[in-house]
Every structure is written in C-alpha cells, then in structure tokens.
Amino acid sequence: MQESAPGPSPGSPLSHSKPADLPPGEQPAAYSQPADSPSVWRQVERHLAGLQLLVAAGLFLLIAVTWRLWTPQTAFPRIPLLGPQYLLPATGEWLVLAVLLLSLGCRAVLAVLRLLGTTAEPARTVPGSPRLERACGLISCLCLVLLVAGDQHRLQAWAWHLGLLSLLIVLQPVPRLFRLSLYLTASIYVWSAWSKMDVTFFQSAGPYLVGGLLKSVGLSWQDVPAAARTALCGLLPAAELLTGVGLLWPRTRRLAVAGSCLMHLALLLTLGPWGLGHSAGVLLWNVFFLVQNPLLASGLTRLSQAAAEQGTAVPATADNRHQPAGPTAVCSTTVYSTAASSVLAVAVLWPLFEPWGLCDSWLSWNLYSSRSEQVRLFVRSDVRQQLSPAARQVTDEARPGQLWCRLRDDQWSLQTTGAPVLPDSRFRLGVALAIARMVEQPEAVRVHRSSRAGRLTGHRRQEDLYGARAIRAALNRHWLNAEPPAPHGRAGGGK
C-alpha cells in the first residue's frame, strides 16, 4: 500500500528539482522522478541516509576503540608513510584528529536529519545540506590520509575499507553508489577467500580459527574427527568465495547476504571473548558487515522497484539491464564521480600485484591468511633491560644459557595501541630498527624473516638479519619508507 505523502524532499539527493545551493554538474542525484513519486523513493532516501550514518558512525567508533593508535603516541614505534621528514608535529596531528572526528560527527548528524526528513512532514533537512555533506566527507577523507601518512600502522584493513566507502558516498551518484559499494564488498570476500586457498592455511590459520569457534561452544579441536578437520578449515574460504560471487547477481544476492550474516556471526563467536578474544576493532568491523550488507542489497532492490513502478529510467545495472536509460534519466558524470570510480577500480585490482610485493597484505584483503610474510624479532638477553617498559613487557624472559629472547611485537601493538600489528615485513623491519635504536649495542637485535609461502608447497625462504646495519639495508629495498623517526632519547618507546 502506497503512502499519500509526496516524494523526496527538496534538496535531497533524489529530488526532481535541482538544488539551488549546488553548482551545475555537482548534484548528488543520479536520476530525476515524477513529483508525485510514491513511498518507494522515500525508502531509497532512507537507505542512502542509513549508509551515510553507518559509515560515519562506524569509522568514529573504530577510531575510538583504537584511539591511542591515532594520537602522536610514543609507546609503539611509528613508521611514516613517506619518510620521517614528513611527520607532522604532535600539535598538528591532534588538530587533524580533532577535525576528523568533528567531520564524522557532522556527517552522522546530517544523516540522522535526512532520515527524519523521510519519515515526517515537513522534511527536517538542513538548507544546503548536500554541499555540507560533501564538504564534511571530503574533509574526513583528507584527514584520514594525513593521519595514515604520519604512521603506516593506522592503515588497518577497516580504515582502508571505510575510507573507500566514504569516498564513494561523497562523490558517487546514488545508483552507482549502492552498486559500486556492493562490488567493493564482494571483492573483499573474494580476495580474502583467495588468500586462504593454500596449504599453509589448512595447517595453521584454519585450525586456529576453527579451534576458536569450537571453544566458543564448549568444544575443542581434539573433539573433531581427523577426517572432518580439513573440511571444517575449508568452510571459511568457501563461504567467503560464495558470498562474494553471490553478491554480484540479483538472483543470488539475498541468499549471499543471508550467508554473509551467518558467517560474520560465526566469526564474532570465533574471535570474541568466548573464543580467541581478539581486539574490539576486529569485532566492530564484523558488526559493520552485518549491517552494511543487507543495507546495500536492499538499497539496490529499492532502486529497481522505483524504476519499474514509476517508469523512471536509471543507468543500466545488473539489476535493471532490461530497462534502458530514457530521456528522464540524469546521471552525474562529473570529474568527482570519475575519480571515485578510478580509485575503486585500483582498490579492486591492486591485490593482483600482492605476490610481487606491490600491494600490502591487508590492502589485498589477506585476512587471517597464513601465506603472508612472517617476521620474528629477537633481542640479546644482555640488553633486554635496556628496552622501553612496554617493549620489555612483551619480551620473553631469558632461560639459563639462552642468548636470544623473542620480542613479541604483535602483543606490543595490541597492548599499546589496541590494534593488531601490520603483517608486512616493511613495517616490521621499521619496528626492528626502532628497537635497535633503544639499546646501546645495535647489533644485539636479530630479525628472522620468512618469505611468502608457496601456495601448493608451503615452502618459504628463510633469512636472518643481525644488527641495525643489516636491518636498514633490508628496509631500504622497499619502495615506501620503512624507517622510524630518529629517537630524541634512549628507551623512549620507539620514537
């Protein structure tokens, strides 16, 4: 039954009339519609506002639970993206962080007002809100880039994901926004599944994850028959692959969304406090997918219904190829939309180059994959007391006659920043160099590095680096910076 209320409110992204406050060619609308359009158009507006609110609130909460990572902290080594000389002063980083949080809050408030405007009359929208939404979105993206440039550690997988979504929301017209956001989501699942399709996953990460799931329901790995263990380990990559492919076709999309929700619920059990006890950021990111996937799929469905019921043509997509674009269709082809589409294309295709070291593990969605490079850090037992308190806390005690002590930088990262350490050797070598600068004898630091595992054999090349000179020579072979800023004092926690 259709509502008697009119269509989208003036100035909204779905309004028929051109917003007076936007310059030509910058309207966020992707199509026009009859003035007496039914409630289905309002539902599209709600989905758009819901997506805006989800991304802004999600990014805000994820930054909040890892807040120390985004401050100019000195408890864990910081590795600037371009070089130590480009590092912002502490005051500048605090200012950028404050502007980022303020812009995210503004985006969330505007999204709430848009949601209220689709459920009440008169519409509770803010004059000039489309321009304000775009400005806040661009500011938040710029601040995110500046903060990541100050420390590569901030380029967590969720920050990359939500940063791309923010760019799409700001620059893409509505039909392309939902469609391309769904393509991005599908690519995450497909690449994550591909990273697990190797021998090492079934030997290490697979049993680790299955063990966490079994633990959450009161069972253990030993309770599983040996013949069923391999099949259980293969369920996660199989589910990811089927979900990613299923999201691309309208006929299988509803089933894929339901499957993705079940998968993320299982991951919450596996990674949560009843299972492996992972960090809050990891759990929140899984919750984000639980809300995002139904929202994107439902938004595309509403767009197709609107086009079919009102005869309003929209750009041909996988959902409505039967309906060619007509004279009433207005599709934004601005430079902003083209730029956003280009960035998304690079993000989707970039993981192809990960085997050659041209794309980081998390940027290629190698999530819980065992195939990535492995780096272990060691310090000589006689210099252990020279480490910073935070580093010494995660360094193994020396046993009698033991020369080297393992420094667990993954635990160090979680304890000091609330976020997992980047798995790539470039970043880990930078951390090792910062450790070498803490001690009086730089040669008392050792790095054991293993290459990516062979997909079919699991074979890795092994290498040991002794001392700061060998570590610096290895990190200088990377294209991007891997050197931490020079310390201002010994045992300063990795300055």
Q: Edge-to-edge, what's the strand order for the sheet holding 374-380?
A: 404-407, 374-380, 445-450, 462-466
Return d(Cα 482, Cα 495) in angstroms, integer: 14
Average pLDDT, the chain: 85
pLDDT of 166 over the 70 cut: yes
Structure tokens at 323: 């309906």
pLDDT of 122 over the 80 cut: no
Considering the entire predicted model, what is its pTM? 0.86
What is the predicted pLDDT for the residue at 123? 40
Q: How far is CA 229 from the centre of its chain?
A: 30
Return d(Cα 345, Cα 357) in angstroms, integer: 19
Beta bridge partners of 466: 446
Return d(Cα 35, Cα 33) in angstroms, integer: 6
pLDDT of 175 over the 90 cut: no
**CA-based diameter of the chain, in Å?**
84
Count other Cβ atoms within 10 Å, centred on residue 413. 22
Q: How confident is the model at residue 73 (pLDDT cuts 50, 70, 90)?
A: very high
- The span from the first CA to the last CA of the chain, in angstroms, equals 64
Strand 445-450, strand 374-380: pairing: antiparallel
Higher pLDDT, 11 or 180: 180
User: Interior CA angle at 451 toward 447 and 457, to 5°?
Assistant: 140
| Residues 200 and 368: beta-carbon distance below 8 Å | no
Omega before 122 cis (within 30°)? yes
What is the predicted pLDDT for the residue at 309? 66
- Among candidate residues 126, 101, 122, 102, the one with its CA nearest the CA of residue 49: 126
Mean predicted confidence (pLDDT) in 149-166? 97
Q: How confident is the model at residue 433 (pLDDT cuts 50, 70, 90)?
A: very high
What is the predicted pLDDT for the residue at 1? 42
The pLDDT tens digits of the residues spanning 257-292 come to 999 999 999 999 999 999 999 999 999 999 999 999
